[in-house]
Structure 1
């Protein structure tokens, strides 16, 4: 099994001029404006990450890491400055104007700040200090009082309403009810937003492609939209999250630097999601199988779900133990079939595997690298999974190809997965939607001239939506 170390430099190094541009804009922003920029970026950077940012430079660094701004691609930065009405910075540093931005953002797909977040920000800007006091008073029974202190801005109040599930993109009833008594004009703005959203949703349904059968083979008719059932996620903890993390191998040259960062990221996210997490390092092949078998024999009656992450080297259909022996992925997953683990029957079992599927580099079709650092490969894919319901296997890459791990920050796939979980779970997105976003994000990158394409194999029968504590 070939194992190569790939250290490569970014093909789009930030120029001195680009850094100076961000520095100059940072220096011109005040605290309230930074709070506004963070609020407007919530669809792109996780709330927990944004909360830790206290200065504009750190905010711009976060946007760079997410690929939202870079040298030669400043449309999102322009939009943000336009949204907070810093036309002076827009003109002086980015050569744009209000009129130009208004035209630009009319083009479908150009606006990266959602209509929902634009609406909330506009409401916060329109309310007077006295209005904000009214809102806080009316929310006293729904939000902890320490979150409604006198110095809490309306943006902070809106964030708390989102965090507590009081408002969301398709449910602004409580906010409307609060505002109708003293700001009927703003309540009307929400009505207009809801009307446009309903109209757009209707258009999407109208243009949804229908399958058509060739003549003579029968006609397929459109079926009415039915709500998708969700798995129950009511227990605390929801289940075990087990991490098998192979860092050190018998051959010292095979050490997987950066994998510790993956373990830390997974533990952080799944502890937040109310799972009981446990990490096991450097297991031999037989020990990996024994550990998975051990968890399959536990009583999961009071659990909702089971999650297992496996980080190692591998080959097609196999995972490498620290002793250089292999264990079949199929054998590990089979431990959780309905017959082998009856207390999890009908409940979701999730496996996420960071390991190469072979030794081939996936050809790239784009020309610009957007990731820097020292990368290694984890040269293994899924041959097959048991034909059982309620199992999902997320692989870092498709069959026969390598996947990449940064020696400093962790693997591309796992770090992206954790970021998307933190970003999208609070928005009540289901797991398949989140993993599709991971596929899109990882798939767009060019790593040392190669691409990486994760894979989802699922027999889940319902939506899986993680509950936020």
Structure 2
């Protein structure tokens, strides 16, 4: 290509158009090499290094971004002897994504970013100024690829069926190529549109649909395809599944006036074994002061959870209303335990369940009452984890579960030899659900825990656990094979 022609073209392209060209070139030039490019001259140098600085390839690029004036300049300034024998074509996948970007309004872009918020880190989404920026983030998170655009299709169906039809057309046109794996190693196939349709699978057939699947806004469209696994259940696919951290306080400073918590080692062992079987990495902290508990929680909040499916935190200690005690008798507010993992502070946990189980009294009040058929536990082996303060509510943020051994201001009980009433029942019910063929989610498990614990009478008193949650999907814990 003539350098003077390229220089003139550089003068006529703005930064937004250069960014669009970089996106279209990503199939042939690694994304990292395209980062930081702000001018067409810089892009031309990268294309030259990749032997793509060819009039045919440039024509495809400029035609795609609707710059026919530049196409003419390229054709007038090209020297045919310098052209490559074979030039790659722009992928239909990139052209399809560009066409969606080209037709997407600011309002629809905001809707797309809103729908992606649980699946992508908030900060990259906030920095995304165009649909192409969003598509890049989706590609980085493997939400879309040239082999699988079904996720984008479902998102677009939520707010713009015309844009969804563009993806649908791409899926129709490439169905055969995408399902033929003979030329591609480990290439996943696009789901057939028969599998995506719920109400009218036959209407998606290429041979039977005269419009090739494209419909106007006036034409009724089927409901957006939904996957029970994606829409109803949190994903548990990583190995390990995530991190389970257990804070186990048994021995307290004499000046704290808090007694030894006999039996807590049984709770720690039960939780440790159970979450190992669920596929979690388990970390145990024994006998920490309040400052050390908060320090460990702060460090944990700075962890990169990108390769984790969930976080589990268990605290076994004495407590009071809205807090637990360190072994020095100082308080750690429950909010201090949960806030480091909110979306703002731990973006890599966005859209992932954060499960907290607290075995500690929440006050010194007794729950009275006795129902016929209630089981009376041996009083000699029972103790209360009691020693007021803030509420023990979950943060005002999605995807949290706070499982409390007791309601606010009341005692919880622990057997000195076999462990606490709440944690032992929790482990039994989680084991029962894990061994069941049913997909029983954790909220159903906690209902069983509530029922079983409430049947008992401990030191002539009752105990009623209390789960609180902002979960947006179902949590199902099964043993790893």
Question: For residue 286 of structure 2, what is the aligned residue in structure 1?
Answer: 281
Q: Is 2:307 aligned against 1:302?
A: yes
Whether 1:424 aligns to 2:427 is: no
Match of 2:241 among 235, 238, 245: 238
Q: Which residue of 1 aligns with 2:268?
A: 263
Residues 102-141 of structure 1 aligned to structure 2 (within 5 Å): none
Question: 2-side partners of 1:259 and 1:382: how far apart?
Answer: 25
The aligned residue for residue 399 of structure 2 is: 390
More relative contact order in 1 or in 2 (CA 8 Å, sep 6+)?
1
Contact (CA 8 Å) 2:248, 2:315: kept in 1 or not? yes
- Give the Å deviation of 1:447: 1.1
TM-score when scaled to structure 1? 0.50
Instruction: Give the alignment of 1:10-409 within 5 angstroms.
Output: 229-251=232-254, 254-366=259-371, 368-372=374-378, 373-379=380-386, 382-409=391-418
Measure, in 1, the Cα distance between the counterparts of 2:392 and 2:476: 28
Contact (CA 8 Å) 2:275, 2:282: kept in 1 or not?
Answer: yes
Quote the offset at 1:309 in angstroms: 0.2
Contact preservation (8 Å) 2:375, 2:456: yes
Q: Partners in 1 of 2:303 and 2:357 — Cα distance? A: 20
Distance in 2 of aligned mates of 1:445 and 1:382: 26
Once superposed, which parts of structure 1, at least 4 consecutive aligned residues long, lie more than 6 Å away? none
* Residue of structure 1 in register with 2:422 after alignment: 413
What secondary structure is seen at the aligned counterpart in 2 of 1:450? coil
Specify the SS of the correspondent of 1:244.
strand
Q: 5+ residue gaps in structure 2?
A: 1-226
Counterparts of 2:471 and 2:258, CA distance in 1: 39
Structure 1 gap segments, 5+ residues each: 1-225
Q: TM-score, normalised by structure 2?
A: 0.49
Query: Is contact 2:394–2:470 with CA below 8 Å preserved after alignment?
Result: no
Please give the per-residue CA displacement for 1:80-127, whole angstroms capped at 9, x wherever unaligned: xxxxxxxxxxxxxxxxxxxxxxxxxxxxxxxxxxxxxxxxxxxxxxxx
- Looking at structure 2, the residues matched to 382 and 349 of structure 1 have their Cα atoms a distance apart, in angstroms, of 19
Measure the CA separation in 1 of the matches of 2:268 and 2:297.
17
Q: CA deviation at 1:365?
A: 2.3
- How far did 1:290 drift? 0.8
- Distance (whole Å) between structure 2 residues aligned to residue 355 and residue 241 of structure 1: 18
1:462 — aligned with what?
Answer: 473
- Kindly state the Cα deviation for residue 370 of structure 1 after the two structures are TM-superposed: 3.2
Which residue matches 1:116?
none
Q: Is the 8 A contact 2:248 2:284 kept in 1?
A: yes
Contact 1:316 1:400 in 2 (8 A): yes
Q: Contact 2:377–2:457 at 8 Å: present in 1 too?
A: yes
Assess if the C-alpha contact under 8 Å between 1:361 and 1:402 holds in 2: yes
Aligned to 2:462: 451
Mapped contact 1:357–1:382 kept (Cα < 8 A) = no
Backbone CA RMSD of aligned residues = 1.9
Whether the aligned pair in 2 keeps the contact of 1:292 and 1:335 (CA below 8 Å) is yes
By how many angstroms is 1:468 displaced? 2.3
8 Å CA contact retained: 2:242, 2:310: yes
Larger radius of gyration: 2
For residue 315 of structure 1, report the CA deviation from its aligned partner. 0.9
Residues of 2 paired with 1:375 and 1:382: CA distance?
A: 27
